Amino acid sequence: MNPVIKIDGLSFGYEFGDSVLKDIYLEISPGEMVALVGQNGAGKTTLVKHLIGLLRPPAGKVRVADLDVANTRVSKLSRQVGYVFQNPDHQIFHDTVQAEVAFGLNNLGLPREEVEPRVTAALSDVGLEHLANENPQRLSRGQRQRVALASVLALRTPVIVLDEPTTGQDYQERKQIMALVEQLNKAGHTIVFITHDMSLVAHYASRVVVLCQGQIILDGDTREVFRQTDKLAESLLLPPQVTVLANQLNEPLNTSVSPVILSVDEMQEYLQRVREVKRNGAGD
Amino acid sequence: MTTSNNSLIQLNNFSYQYPHTANNALKSINLSLKKGSFVGFAGPTGAGKTTLIKSINGIVPHFEGGTFSGEVLLNGKAADTMSTAEIGRSVGTVLDDPEAQIICLDVEQELVFGMENYGVPPAEMEQRMQKALASVGIAHLLGRSTASLSGGQKQRLAIAAALAMLPEVLVLDEPTSELDPLGSEEVFRVLKQLHQEQGMTILVTEQKTDLLARYCDQLVILREGEMVLSGTPREVFQHPDIFELGVALPEVTELARRYYPQAEPPITLDEGVQFCRNVIQTFGG
C-alpha cells in the first residue's frame, strides 16, 4: 500500500537558532496509529506542522495523500489532514461552541443540512453536546481542548494529527479521548499523535517514532521501542512505570528474550508466569 | 475545624460561586496548612482545584467576582480584605497555561516585571533574576524572546518569574501539563529543593499522581467542589474509596490494589519492586 505520509530527507531550522529537524525520513501507511514522542524541544510539533502546510517544506520532501505539501494550497490539504493544536486557544475563535465546530465545515462549502448533523455528531463524540451554545472562553481548558478536537473530527479527514490531545485532561477524560481516537483509527483514519504520556503510548499506539534533537532515533513497533531502554534514556524518555518495574525485577522466564510489559494487566500475567516458573523449579 | 495560630493558610467553611453559574465551584472547604507544607491537589477536571488555588492567591474573588461564604485566612488575615498587591507579596502564582501568564517580549523583561512593580532595587533584581533562572535550569535562555521558547521552557520561565518575587507560598496550577516526563520530574525536584532549603510552602495541582506520591507531604482529593480525601499520599492511595474518585493511581499502586487487595499497596517504583519480589516469593496464593 502506498504510504499516506511520506517524508523524504526533511531538514528545517527557525531563523533564530540551530536546525530543529535534521534529515527526517518517515513513511506512514494508511490506517496506522503512530505516537510521536520526544523531549520538549525535540522537534515534534515542527515536524507535524510540515504535514498540514503550516510550515512549507522544500518541494518534493513531504507528501500527504499523494499531495506535495510544498505546492498544495492549505484549503486543499485540509480536506486530507486535520490538525488539533496543542493549545486549543490557538485554534478557537468563535463565540459559541457550535459555531466553532461548524467553521471548518462551512469553509469546505458543505450545505447547511450536512453541517448541522456533523456538528452534533462531533460534539456528542467528545461529550460536549450540552455545551453547544456556550462561549468556548467560559469552558475549562480541558473542555476547550475537546472543542478543538470536535472541530477537527467534524471534517472527517483521512489523516488526523493530534498535538498532545490529552493536555489538561483528567484520567477519565484522557481515556475517553484516546478511546475515541482509537475508534477513528479502527474506522480507517490514519492517526499521528504527539504525547508525553508514555502510558497512553503503551496502550494505544501500534508504532512509536522517537525524535531526539531533531532526528528520528527510534521507529518501530511499540513493544520493540520500549525494549530499547538505553536509547530511550539517551532521549531522556521514561517508559511507563510498569515497564520499568518489570525491567528492574529482571526475573527471567523460559524464553530467550525478556518480555516488555506495557500495562498493569500484562504485569499481573507476567508475575503469575514468574511464579509458575519458580514453583515448577522448586518442585524439581 | 478550630483556628490554629500557626496556620499560614486557613480556609474556614469556604464556599464560592462564579458569576452566571448555577452551582458552587467550592463547597464548605475546611483546610489548615502550616508554613512549610508541601501539598498536592488532585481530582477530575471541574473538581475545583484551580478555584481553590485562585482563592488562595486572591484571584477569587478579587478578579472573578461571584459570591462566597466562609473565609480564607493568610497568616490570620482575611484574604478578601487584602489587596491583590498585598497578597502577591507572600503568594507567588504559576498558572496552568504559561502563555496566559507570560506578557513580556523577552525572558529578562518577564523576570523583572514583577520586581519592578514592587520597587525592588535594580542591583537586587539582577541577583534574584539569576538565582530564579538557575533554580529552574534555564539560565542560558536569558537573552531569548519569550515567543521562541518551547512549551516546557515557558512553563519554567513562569515558575522563575514567581520565584524572583521571593514568595512565602508558591501556588502552581498543573505546572507540568506541557512538560515531558523528565521535565516534570525536574519541576518537582525544584519544588522539593525550595521546600527543603528555603522552607517554602508549596501548593500544587497535578494530574501525574506518581509525582504527588513521591514529593508531597499531604495530598488533597477534590471532587465536584468538595474536599473528599486528605492525608499523606500513602493514606490517600490506600483509601478504599480512591478508585471511585476519578484519580489515576501510580501503576504500581493500581497493580496491587486490583490484584492483591489484602496486601499494603506500594506507592513508588522502589516499593513496587519490593512488593513484586514478595509476590513472587509467596508462590501460589
pLDDT tens-digit map of A169-218? 888 888 888 998 999 999 999 999 999 999 999 999 999 999 999 999 99
Q: Which residues of A62-86 are buried (b: 16+ CB within 10 A; e: fewer)?
A: bbbbebebeebeeeebbebbbbbbb
C-alpha to C-alpha distance for B273 and B214, rounded to whole angstroms: 15
Q: Is A88 on the interface with B (CB under 8 A)?
A: no
In this structure, are residues A223 and B250 in contact, taking their beta carbons and an 8 Å threshold?
no
Per CATH, domain A5-236 is 3.40.50.720 = no
Per the domain annotation, does B264 fall within a domain? no
pLDDT tens-digit map of B194-243? 899 889 999 999 989 889 999 999 999 999 999 999 999 999 999 988 88
Could you say which DSSP state residue B285 is in?
A: -
Cell numbers 489532514: residue: A81
Per the domain annotation, does B276 fall within a domain? no
Paired with A221 in beta bridges are A207
Query: Residue B285: its pLDDT value, please?
Result: 46
pLDDT tier for residue B283 given thresholds of 50, 70 and 90: low
Beta-strand (E) ranges in chain A? 5-13, 19-28, 33-37, 62-64, 67-68, 81-84, 159-163, 190-194, 207-212, 215-221
Amino acid at residue number A265:
D
Q: Half-sphere exposure of residue A136, counting CA atoms within 13 Å on the CB side?
A: 26
- Select from B180, B210, B251 the Cβ nearest to the Cβ of A39: B180
Give the residue from A283, A212, A284, A281 showing the smallest Cα distance to A252: A281
Collapse the DSSP code of B138 into the 3-class scheme (helix H, G, I; strand E, B; otherwise coil) and give the result: coil
Q: Is A100 on the interface with B (CB under 8 A)?
A: no
Contact A40 B179 (CB under 8 A): yes
Per the domain annotation, does B201 fall within a domain? yes
- Select from A87, A245, A268 the Cβ nearest to the Cβ of B99: A87
List CB contacts (< 8 A) between B136 and chain A.
none
Query: Residue B202: its pLDDT value, please?
Result: 96
Is the bond into A117 cis (omega within 30 degrees of 0)?
Answer: no
Give the residue from B72, B16, B25, B40 showing the smallest Cα distance to B202: B40
pLDDT tens-digit map of A81-100? 999 988 788 888 899 999 99
Domain total for chain B? 1
List CB contacts (< 8 A) between B180 and chain A.
38-40, 196, 236-237
Query: Residue B2: its pLDDT value, please?
Result: 47
Contact B181 A237 (CB under 8 A): yes
pLDDT tens-digit map of B140-165? 999 999 988 877 788 889 999 999 99
Q: All 3 cell numbers of residue A104?
A: 471548518
Q: Is A253 on the interface with B (CB under 8 A)?
A: no
With a pLDDT cut of 70, the percent of chain A lying above it is 97
CA of A233 to nearest chain B CA: how many angstroms apart? 10
Q: CATH 3.40.50.300 in chain A: give the residue spans.
A: 5-236
Per the domain annotation, does B187 fall within a domain? yes
Q: pTM of whole model > 0.90?
A: no
For chain A, helix (H) and strand (E) counts, in that order, are 11, 10
Contact B152 A41 (CB under 8 A): yes
C-alpha to C-alpha distance for B18 and A80, rounded to whole angstroms: 42
Q: Half-sphere exposure of residue A257, counting CA atoms within 13 Å on the CB side?
A: 7
Contact A170 B207 (CB under 8 A): yes
pLDDT tier for residue B1 given thresholds of 50, 70 and 90: very low
Contact A248 B269 (CB under 8 A): yes
Q: All 3 cell numbers of residue A174?
A: 484522557
List CB contacts (< 8 A) between A172 and chain B.
44, 246
Query: Residue A255: its pLDDT value, please?
Result: 67
Collapse the DSSP code of A250 into the 3-class scheme (helix H, G, I; strand E, B; otherwise coil) and give the result: coil
- Select from B44, B182, B255 the Cβ nearest to the Cβ of A267: B255
| Strand-strand pairing, B7-17 and B26-34 | antiparallel
Q: All 3 cell numbers of residue B138?
A: 534555564
| Strand-strand pairing, B67-74 and B7-17 | antiparallel
Distance, C-alpha B262 to centroid of its chain: 32
Mean pLDDT by 10 residues, chain A (284 residues): 94 80 96 94 92 91 96 92 87 91 92 95 92 88 86 94 88 88 94 94 96 95 92 86 92 74 95 88 60
Cα angle: A107, vertex A108, A111; to 5 degrees? 95
Per the domain annotation, does B220 fall within a domain? yes
Contact A40 B153 (CB under 8 A): yes
Per the domain annotation, does B182 fall within a domain? yes
Contact A196 B179 (CB under 8 A): yes
Contact B246 A171 (CB under 8 A): yes
CATH of the domain at B234: 3.40.50.300
Collapse the DSSP code of B150 into the 3-class scheme (helix H, G, I; strand E, B; otherwise coil) and give the result: coil
User: Which ipTM did the prediction report?
Assistant: 0.85
Q: Tell me the CA end-to-end span of chain A in Å, nearest whole number.
A: 52
CA torsion angle B52 B57 B63 B65 (round to 10): 40
Residue of A nearest to B179 (CA): A40
- Select from B45, B150, B258 the Cβ nearest to the Cβ of A140: B45
Domain containing B189 equals: 9-249
- Select from B96, B246, B252 the Cβ nearest to the Cβ of A245: B252
Per the domain annotation, does B215 fall within a domain? yes
List CB contacts (< 8 A) between B96 and chain A.
141, 168
Per the domain annotation, does B284 fall within a domain? no
C-alpha to C-alpha distance for B7 and B99, rounded to whole angstroms: 33
- Select from B50, B258, B273 the Cβ nearest to the Cβ of A264: B258
Contact B178 A40 (CB under 8 A): yes
C-alpha to C-alpha distance for B215 and A255, rounded to whole angstroms: 38
